[in-house]
Amino acid sequence: MGFNCGIIGLPNVGKSTIFNALTGLDAQMANYPFCTIKANQGIVPVPDERLSKIAEILKKSHPIPTKIEFIDVAGLVKGASKGEGRGNQFLDDIRKTDALIHCVRCFDSGNVAHVNSKIDPVSDVEIINTELCLADISILERAREKIAKLAASGDKDAKIKVEIINKFLSHLDEGKLLNILEFSEKQKLIINEYGLITAKPVLYLANVDESDTNNEYVKSLTNYSKESGSEFLILAGKLEEEISELPMEERQEYLQELGIKESGLIRLIHSAYKLLDFITYYTAATDLQAWTIKTGTAAPQAAGKIHTDFERGFIRAEVFSYDDLIESGSEHIVKEKGHLRSEGKDYIIKEGDIVKFLFNV
């Protein structure tokens, strides 16, 4: 598995429409709120031009792309953290995700109801963010209650934990998401333990009509995203959904007719990669396969993504880069030119590396 993104937002803003566009699956859509009741999950291969070029040179058939999973959850409303709407279930669905795509309605349409009867992207976003903060506050307060006695008795670990929880709580009490903080390793453990939602990176996605992509709604959401240091993307959800229903051969043609260079899916995936600080590397010892890892991952841990034995018994990695392969035109010439490197356990895997792990268990 690569990574997963939860699509969140108010009811009826187009989350399922975008999910469908992305996954080509048919999550139920409708023009009334709370259409989605159970979370839809869809796994999408990450489009990657390099993969087919490597396959051609290394003569590998059926290369395996890395994958991204999208989770389309029920719309969130004010009071969700207290169980309003489908709130609690919704919140559980997103605790396990790596990142959030916060879908915001930036289209006018008399046919589609808005839960607060007025479209106001910044206030819409703040309703959701407030609920996410409240949800994290409630989890952290309960956690603190549980370990307070232990901490008071002098237990060192419990004391550190309470300190971190207090720091998080005072930040959340000001209505700020945790994701603007830099986390220590200890803090990261706590974030994982409690599935803190506001610590996840967020991408704000303006859902627009293709005929009206730069309206006032989009402008105000752009400013908001900039100020909060978040990723931002404009996507014509309904159009993308229509395109995704076309046969594969016709899609590119239709995009060209509309003057669109790249499908929304590709832009969204690239933004999600940036958001999560991910890179792609490849293995080709047997099948050619693409893998997703965090920037800064060392070779043994990258190997561990494939199999725990690879990490446990890691000896070294034989590495050459995608650029060297393209320039040389064959693996043989890569070696002749001395581009094949032997790297040890401290080697940090780079974007586009083609790697063979040697291990012994």
Q: Does 36 bind Mg ion (CB under 5 A)?
A: yes
Task: Rank residues 17 and 66 by Cβ distance to ligand GTP and give the closer one.
Answer: 17
Of these partners, Mg ion, ligand GTP, none, which one is at the site of residue 209 (CB under 5 to 8 Å by kind)?
A: ligand GTP
Of these partners, ligand GTP, Mg ion, none, which one is at the site of residue 207 (CB under 5 to 8 Å by kind)?
A: ligand GTP
**Pairing mode, if any, of strands 289-294 and 278-283?**
antiparallel
Q: Longest Cα pair distance anywhere in the chain, in angstroms?
A: 70
Contact status, residue 43 vs residue 109, Cβ threshold 8 Å: no
Distance CA 113, CA 48 (A): 38
Chain residues in the site for ligand GTP (CB under 6 A): 9, 11-17, 29-31, 33-36, 74-75, 107, 109, 112, 207-209, 236-238
Q: Considering the complex, what minimum distance in angstroms separates the CB of residue 81 from ligand GTP?
A: 17
Distance CA 165, CA 177 (A): 14
Q: Does 66 bind Mg ion (CB under 5 A)?
A: no
Of these partners, Mg ion, ligand GTP, none, which one is at the site of residue 238 (CB under 5 to 8 Å by kind)?
A: ligand GTP
Task: Give me the residues paired with residue 357 across strands.
Answer: 317
Task: Rank residues 34 and 194 by Cβ distance to ligand GTP and give the closer one.
Answer: 34
Alpha helices in 86-120 (DSSP H): 87-95
Contact status, residue 293 vs residue 282, Cβ threshold 8 Å: no
Task: Rank residues 144 and 267 by Cβ distance to ligand GTP and give the closer one.
Answer: 267
Q: Considering the complex, what minimum distance in angstroms separates the CB of residue 120 from ligand GTP?
A: 16
Specify the amino acid at residue 360.
N
Q: Considering the complex, what minimum distance in angstroms separates the CB of residue 180 from ligand GTP?
A: 26
Of these partners, Mg ion, ligand GTP, none, which one is at the site of residue 112 (CB under 5 to 8 Å by kind)?
A: ligand GTP
Q: Considering the complex, what minimum distance in angstroms separates the CB of residue 111 from ligand GTP?
A: 7
Q: Considering the complex, what minimum distance in angstroms separates the CB of residue 254 from ligand GTP?
A: 17
Residues 176-215 that bind Mg ion (CB under 5 A): none
Distance CA 40, CA 4 (A): 12
Q: Does 40 bind Mg ion (CB under 5 A)?
A: no
Among 4, 16, 23, 207, binds Mg ion (CB under 5 A): 16
Element of type H or E holding 339: none
Alpha helices in the chain (DSSP H): 15-23, 49-58, 87-95, 121-152, 156-173, 185-194, 216-227, 237-244, 248-257, 264-276, 299-306, 308-312, 322-328, 331-336
Here the tokens at position 103 are 């879908």
Of these partners, ligand GTP, Mg ion, none, which one is at the site of residue 246 (CB under 5 to 8 Å by kind)?
A: none
Task: Rank residues 15 and 305 by Cβ distance to Mg ion and give the closer one.
Answer: 15
Site residues for Mg ion per CB under 5 A: 15-16, 35-36
